[in-house]
Amino acid sequence: MVSEETTRTTTPPTEQQPPAAAAAPREAGAHREPRTAATRAWATRLVVVGIVLSALNLRPAITSLGALLEEVRDGLGMSGSVAGLLTSVPPLCFAVFGVMAPRLARRFGPAAVVCAGMAAIAAGLVIRPYAGNTVAFLAASALALMGIAVSNVLMPVIVKRWFPDRVGSMTGLYSMALALGTSTAAAVTVPMTDALGGWKPGLAVWALLAAVAVLPWLPLLRDRDRDRDRGAAPAVRPGASQEPGQVAHDTSREESVRATAAQEEQAPALRITRSRTAWALAVFFGLQATAAYITMGWMAQIFRDAGVAAGTAGLLLAVTMVMGVPLAFVIPRLATRLPHQGPIVLALGVCGLAGYAGLYLAPAGGAWAWAVLLGISNCAFPLALTMVGMRARTGPGVAQLSAFAQSTGYLISIPGPLLVGVLYQSSGGWGLPIALMTALMIPQMLVGWVAGRNRTVEEEAAR
């Protein structure tokens, strides 16, 4: 009798199943939920490790070459103009291959594309020093830079996708790791070259770091449905703990997120070129990249020509790069707390102008001070990445804006390092190249102010 009452009480009249059968799905769900939460936490930790290791590999291919540019020129018989072309290859590859990143991410998932990018970096860095001639050296460099290019574009997308409530802090972590890899390569490449017995193994050794960066992305390849660039950020950060009373609520939120993702996937692409903010951010990105690649490619040579020893010149370049380690974590967090990022743009620009003035007036006498000032100025890069995440509301918007700003920006930056090499070769000194760098800083500050306004590309494109 009690059993019948219990059955009538717990089972709705419309259901024709026994109580045990009705309870089975709930029990299965109860057992499945902890495993799901644990899987998400595990996957989130892998994403963090993957972001950090990938970021460490996004600049050593460039700064290690900058530290050994004179040795590479002598070994391959390059002129100053050809060396200037070599320093222009990174932004060219970033512009050409970066455009492909969103489409590849939609087809294969961002994790798969970044994983392949790390593998390409490792392969290119192994092949490059032993290529045998300038053309093959450039081709192997392009392979490594292709991997860097797609990873450059997709890092803001992955941050927005997995950490929508922590864009500033995760962009800061990524930028800090990027600066650490940049500065470490600049600092230790010359000593490693001496220890390994030549510039070829000194360049090739950085392939090991790229090979390690492949590993954390491999387990994530199985979870393509979650990691594919659907466009909508999760309502709850993956891996976040859930209270027992929130399971049903969070399930409905996840269903809502999936519905939103499906709608955004079917939505037409933004007409990004209608957005003034997108253009301002692209030009800002291009000018800061011009300054950064001139610095990475030529600053050590400026100091060496001023009488500074090769090892010390490498350390000065490392100081410039290492300034980005703490500041790359602080600046994005500060930027996300401000309605307008223009004041940060101006402060960084003033440091750059002071550093260029020092390089012109007393390159050897105040070398350490100029290295610090230019290092602060180069932190416009993490600021630009942060603004990419802030100037779009949705995942697809971030992907489009990131690809547009970085590809257009890197196209803008291509002539800068090449022109510096030509001016240096023709004038026989650094006066004209430094004047060019100084002149480019003014428009960088102006367009950065425009890009820092509290706007979104979706709003402007809709108009």
Residues 98 and 404: beta-carbon distance below 8 Å? no
Task: Kindly report, residue by residue over 381-411, the tens digit of the pLDDT.
Answer: 889 988 988 888 877 778 788 888 888 888 8
- CA–CA gap between residue 354 and residue 357 (Å, rounded): 5
pLDDT-wise least confident of 86-95, 309-318, 446-455: 86-95
DSSP strands (E only) in 137-236: none
Please give the backbone phi and psi of residue 308, each rounded to the nearest 5 degrees, phi first. -80, 140
Q: Would you tell me how many other CB atoms lie within 10 Å of the CB of residue 182?
A: 31
What mean pLDDT comes out for the span 258-282?
68
pLDDT value for 447: 95
State how far the Cα of 318 lies from the Cα of 279, in Å rounded to an integer. 32
pLDDT in tens, 5-52: 443 434 444 444 444 444 444 444 444 444 566 677 787 888 888 899
Instruction: List all residues 6 or more positions away from 125 whose beta carbon is below 8 Å from its beta carbon.
Output: 61, 140, 144, 203, 204, 206, 207, 210
In angstroms, the CA 359 to CA 375 distance is 13
Per-residue confidence (pLDDT) for residue 134, from 0 to 100: 78
pLDDT recorded at residue 304: 87
pLDDT exceeds cutoff 70 at 117: yes
145-159, 170-184, 437-451 — which is least confidently predicted?
Answer: 170-184
Mutual angle of helices 167-196 and 380-390, in 10-degree steps: 150
Is residue 79 very low, low, confident or very high in pLDDT (cuts 50, 70, 90)?
A: low
pLDDT digits (tens, 9 = 90+) for 187-202: 788 888 888 888 888 8
Return the percentage of the chain with pLDDT > 70, whole number.
79
Residue 1 has pLDDT above 70, yes or no: no
SS (H, E, C) 34-62: HHHHHHHHHHHHHHHHHHHHHHHCCCHHH
pTM surpassing 0.85? no
Looking at 80-89, 157-166, 202-211, 370-379, which range is the least confident one?
Answer: 80-89
Give me the helices (H) in 414-463, please: 415-427, 431-451, 457-462
Q: What is the pLDDT of residues 118-131, one digit of tens each?
A: 999 999 999 988 88
pLDDT in tens, 274-307: 888 999 999 999 999 899 878 877 888 889 888 8
Please give the pLDDT value at position 15: 40
Using alpha carbons, select from 31, 33, 152 the residue that is nearest to residue 102.
152
Q: What is the pLDDT of residue 269?
A: 64
Is 90 exceeded by the pLDDT of residue 240? Answer: no
pLDDT score recorded for residue 272? 81
State how far the Cα of 300 lies from the Cα of 63, in Å rounded to an integer. 10
3-state percent breakdown (helix, strand, coil) of the chain, nearest 5: 80, 0, 20
Alpha carbon separation from 311 to 175, 325, 360, 362, 364 (Å, rounded): 26, 21, 21, 19, 14
Residue 232 has pLDDT above 80, yes or no: no
Question: Lowest mean pLDDT: which of 88-102, 282-296, 422-436?
Answer: 88-102
Residues 155-177 have a mean pLDDT of 79
Task: Kindly provide the b/e burial profile for residues 355-366, where b requires at least 16 CB atoms within 10 angstroms of the residue's own CB.
Answer: bbebbbeebeeb
Q: Name the pLDDT band for 223 (thresholds 50, 70, 90).
A: low
